[in-house]
Amino acid sequence: MVTVSAHRFEDRVAVVTGSTRGIGAGVAKRLAREGARVVVTGRTREAGERTVDAIREAGGVATFVRADMRDRDDIAALFEAAADTYGGVDVLVNNAGVETETSVAEATTEEWELVVETDFRAFWLCAKEAASRMGAGAIVNTSSNHAFLTMPEMFPYNAVKAGINGMTRAMALDLGPHVRVNTVNPGWIAIERTVSEMSGDRRRELASLHPVGRLGTPDDVAAAVAFLASDDAGFVTGTTLVVDGGRTAVMQDDTLPDYRRRLTDGPDGDDRGGCP
């Protein structure tokens, strides 16, 4: 069960990019439950309004501002709207992102620009806009465990995610001491985009590769973001927090399931009850 503090972000304004669905929507809802006034933003108004409605129905405060993270004018207008509506910005969660299923050899310049402008340049532009309106504030950048270990045909997504970790360190130096900047690095998170066409067997197989024995949820990431954005992390800046159920601790995919079977069955096939 995720513990929520109803007052941790009381009187604070949070902008969460890419918050119309998935991880971003989960983060927006979590911050609102903890007292933040949340600006939900993305390209699709209908989906954004659904997130806002869910927040309001739960007793929170939120508004939707449409913005395309590839459009510099949209980004500037987003933060102007946040300041006009709620009086300023205290927390920025850079979460908007896209990916392409392309290799280094196959990727086109158009695909490169799509990912780099959305997942990387926009993080920098949003941070500049937010920091100029912050007193003491916090920025959390969403990266990925692909920043450390990756797969074929994930370029340039994996390159950008590694770059976000470096950008976070630069931001922490240049925007401190008043603004803290950290990165959250999710792993396999069960959202519609990642599991909609996945069979039950495939999902169980993936869960077995995680030391915690399951895939992650948006709530798992939202809890980590809320910590990094809060005063509880007041001495934490310029770092990365991997939220992947221990996935990056596993070197070889078949190692963990086989190891657990040996713990459970014992050397002679007897059930020893040593593993869930």
Strand partners, 15: 39, 92
Q: Are 127 and 48 in contact (CB under 8 A)?
A: no
What single letter denotes the amino acid at residue 207? A
Catalytic pick among 157, 206, 225, 237: 157
Residue whose pair of structure tokens reads 């601790």 in the numeric block: 249
Mark whether 86 is an active-site residue: no
User: Cα-flanking dihedrals φ and ψ of residue 242, to 5°?
Assistant: -85, 125
Decide the pairing of beta strands 137-142 and 13-16: unpaired
Q: Which string of b and e fits 98-114 if b means at least 16 CB within 10 Å?
A: ebbebeeeebeeebbeb
DSSP 8-state symbol, 118: I
H helix runs in 87-147, sequence order: 109-116, 122-131
| Alpha-carbon Rg for the chain in angstroms | 20
H/E segment holding residue 83? helix 72-86
Rounded to whole angstroms, what are the CA distances from 113 to 155, 157, 160, 229?
12, 11, 11, 29
The pair of structure tokens assigned to 96 is 């908007």
> Closest Cα to residue 37, out of 21, 69, 14?
14
d(CA 212, CA 73): 43
CA–CA separation, 174 and 131 (whole Å): 10
- The set of catalytic residues is 157
